[in-house]
Structure 1
């Protein structure tokens, strides 16, 4: 009888410990040097594109299912890839200035997943908190995982992050040249 009571007590204690301390998912670090973030901005009559460096990142899995992720982007690395020479340098300097991303005072941006819903075939609906210039807003996007590669495309409204230079929301007609939304195309290697 004493053995039965002791067995029940131990089973209860270990069972409660399992619920109190759930097993953390496996974090897979992103290979930053092999990953790529491309930005694409649009304006009346054209647009520009370039890259931004990933400082750190990880995706979290429970078994083979994605359950979380967090990333830090080095905004000081923002470059333009569709221009050369003097105009390329001027655009990059302007993007780093207070008119756009204020990289001297805000050298990083961040994304933290807050909800992940699995669809079929390695596709996920992701909601996350995106922080740019110290301002955090929720964003939703689709993410695909195929083996050790993850890809996503995000559409970001820059005005939500106090990036309003040339926005259609402010200024006169001649200043309404740059569209408020820009794209981020992300290819991650784990």
Structure 2
């Protein structure tokens, strides 16, 4: 009886470890041509918005449940959709400069899922490590994941505090008397990933 009890404990512990392992499951490769990130930055006088391309990535699915994954963001593709002509060129150049994301030095950012908690009906609470400009911080957000045949579609909205990644330009935390030139610290990312089994 005692041996059976300990055997059950070992089995239960093994199952728990596998369920919590973000690398567990079947890898689904992200289709970069169907996946994208939309960004919105806010300032006192309004906002700007645009897109960033996804370079590569994968999602892990275990018995139909998201168990982990990661993807790489190509920061050199930052684009502004609310501007045209010279204004567009100037804004995109500024975002890529060292004032903001310094893409010459840091051409990519990454997000790696460390924990995925299923809430039912394809809804998840996600904890992940987000790396921007070589600095990694944890982020927590809700995500929706839909699996049909061999394809997975995942969507999520994430708020990011840029100052945690040494992006301080126009931040009231670090500069005084900015007035209407102040840029809010948080920006929004709307992420859509489409992935298929390898």
Classify the TM-score, shorter chain: 0.7 to 0.9
- Aligned-residue offset at 1:168: 1.4
Deviation at 1:146, TM superposition (A): 1.9
C-alpha root-mean-square deviation of aligned residues, in Å?
1.9
Structure 1 counterpart of 2:189, from 156, 159, 184:
184
- Whether 1:157 and 2:161 are equivalent positions in the alignment is yes
**3-state DSSP class of the match of 2:185?**
strand
Deviation readout 1:101-145 (Å, 9 max, x if unpaired): 000000000011111110010001000100000000000011101
Write the deviation string for residues 30-56 of structure 1: whole angstroms up to 9, x where unpaired: 100111100000000210000001000
Distance 1:39 1:33 in 2: 17
What is the total number of aligned residue pairs between the two structures?
A: 173
Q: Secondary structure of 1:101's match?
A: coil
| 1:85 matched to 2:85 | yes
Find the counterpart in structure 1 of residue 114 from structure 2. 114
Post-superposition offset of 1:24:
4.2
Tell me, which stretches of 5 or more residues in structure 2 are unaligned?
A: 1-10
Question: Does the residue aligned with 1:106 lie in a helix, a strand or coil?
Answer: coil
Query: Please, which of 162, 167, 174 is the counterpart of residue 171 of structure 2?
Result: 167
- Considering Cα pairs closer than 8 Å and 6+ residues apart, tell me whether 1 or 2 has the greater RCO: 2
Cross-structure match for 1:66: 66
Choose 1 or 2 for highest CA Rg: 1
- Distance in 2 (CA, whole Å) between partners of 1:24 and 1:76 is 31
Question: What does the per-residue CA deviation read over 1:63-111, in whole Å, with 9 as the maximum and x for residues that have no partner?
Answer: 1011101010000000000000001000000000000000000000001
Distance in 2 separating the partners of 1:45 and 1:28: 42
8 Å CA contact 2:24–2:67 kept in 1: the answer is no
Change beyond 3 A, Cα 1:103–1:25? same
Consecutive unaligned residues in structure 1, runs of 5 or more: 1-15
Closer, same or farther in 2 for the Cα pair 1:183/1:59, shift >3 Å? same
Measured in 1, the distance between the counterparts of 2:49 and 2:99 equals 17
- Structure 2 SS opposite 1:98: coil
For 1:6, the equivalent position in structure 2 comes to none
